[in-house]
Chain A
């Protein structure tokens, strides 16, 4: 079995390999020797566990996520479908504005689907949105996702989206944010309101005072 190092995430190393002739990825959370062992073990375990459940749960809510093949909790590894494509982060600056709007609209809808099911993604940056070669949008990286999400948690999710767009896509942030929030509101209607207004409150909170 060929194991190719495919990507280096914040928490994980992603390997690409094959299973029954199909490409899959292994998401492996390695040990972090610089952390206290108790904390490191607990994080790796809960996040691997959470991610594998949430990838499936989010799909049930209508969000496209890679299919999980197996999970090895002892080795903190999840095997899932390989999505052939690129991160929205890398793609955004290469797309015509109309196409970028469509993708962001769909991103907003995906987040709304999770929120409607009282799930938050937890790290909704454009590194964690993949666009495949057939232009389909996928969400990955559910290690920080949570169930039973409150308005506060949804507001934080939206705040994180806004900040990710401001920092990483500073020259396209208006277009991207507008389209994302339009997609969000399009799906949730008036239900979107509490989380949207919380997003603004949260932004002000951590600021120097």
Chain B
């Protein structure tokens, strides 16, 4: 029987629902993001957003896919990692739908889903993945039946660093796009702490220094330019170290921050130096959305994975490398 999977994503401030077929066709992908006027994300507020808007977003995803509820044969939801209240709100919707429609349920790892949707889009088999978002900064590659984190941030995520800096400057959340716009007008480089430890990075030092520079009346475009060049240069270096170490021939850039064009340009250069193919996940599939959950759900289900409603508790600290990737047969 052909599968039509509804994927529900709600690990942080975004809620998304997507419908994907087992042929890998994205039939719809609808999402909405909580954008607080000030401050960062409040887990409670975000979970309320999900509970309030979720049903309409799911309904819209079905309409856009041109299907009715009874055409769904599988429900997948983001089981972790993420903010507890958000995960629980999302899981509750997934469970009740699965029970009502009498279809099986699978729980998907959010980080793994970012990789799998990128592989679907690019046709890559075994990439080094650079996954960059508001909550994550990881360099991941497949080895021994798991997606393993070769490098990550030692403190804050790159997207978080950009957002916090942006907030200081009065930019709207998320601040990445505004910083990118400003950076395009900048050209003078102000040195910021560049912190790489092996395949890990650290962004808290450069955030502190950038906020200090900001008080010294340095033009905003130059400051944004300097932040990007430093932060992305660090990522390029750890990605390069992972490629040289694993000798893999594909590089995938994914996550919300993958929408930044300068970052894509830098990593394309890294890949070229190592004769590796390169792909940046397209904007609609780069951020947090339901299609990636749906597609990964199909992969898991096809490999025999099932999750009973009784055991479908969420996993807020679920590590990328804690799941056996049963659907991949590379060694």
Contacts and interface: CB of A to CB of B under 8 A. Distances in A.
A182 interface: no
A206 B268 CA distance: 26
Contact of A32 (B198, B241, B246, B273): B273
A207 interface: yes
A171 to B, nearest CB: 6
Contact of B230 (A9, A39, A163, A170): A39
A106 interface: no
A156 B196 CA distance: 11
Contacts of A36: 189, 229, 233
B136 interface: yes
Nearest to B318: A208
Contacts of A10: 237, 240-241, 243-245
B99 interface: no
A156 B151 CA distance: 12
B211 interface: no
A208 B136 contact: yes
A28 to B, nearest CB: 13
Interface of B: 81-82, 135-136, 141, 143-144, 146, 148-150, 152-155, 189, 191, 194, 196-200, 229-230, 233, 236-237, 240-241, 243-246, 265-270, 273-274, 316-317, 319, 321
A156 B154 contact: yes
Interface stretch (A57-65, A68-76, A119-127): A119-127
B203 to A, nearest CB: 10
Contacts of A127: 244-245
9 contacts: A34-B270, A38-B191, A125-B199, A125-B245, A144-B198, A164-B198, A206-B152, A208-B81, A208-B135
A123 B154 contact: no
Given A10-B240, A34-B236, A122-B198, 5 more contacts: A10-B245, A11-B241, A160-B200, A206-B154, A208-B136
Given A32-B273, A35-B233, A205 B244 contact: no
A168 interface: yes
A123 B198 contact: yes
A207 B237 contact: no
Contact of B198 (A8, A38, A160, A207): A160
Contacts of A163: 149-150, 198-199
Given A122-B197, A167-B148, A208-B317, A33 B244 contact: no
A18 interface: no
Interface in A122-159: 122-125, 127, 144, 156
Given A10-B240, A32-B273, A168-B143, A39 B148 contact: no
A125 B198 CA distance: 8
Contacts of B150: 163, 167
B200 A206 contact: yes
Contacts of A167: 141, 143, 148-150, 321
Nearest to B246: A168
Nearest to B188: A38
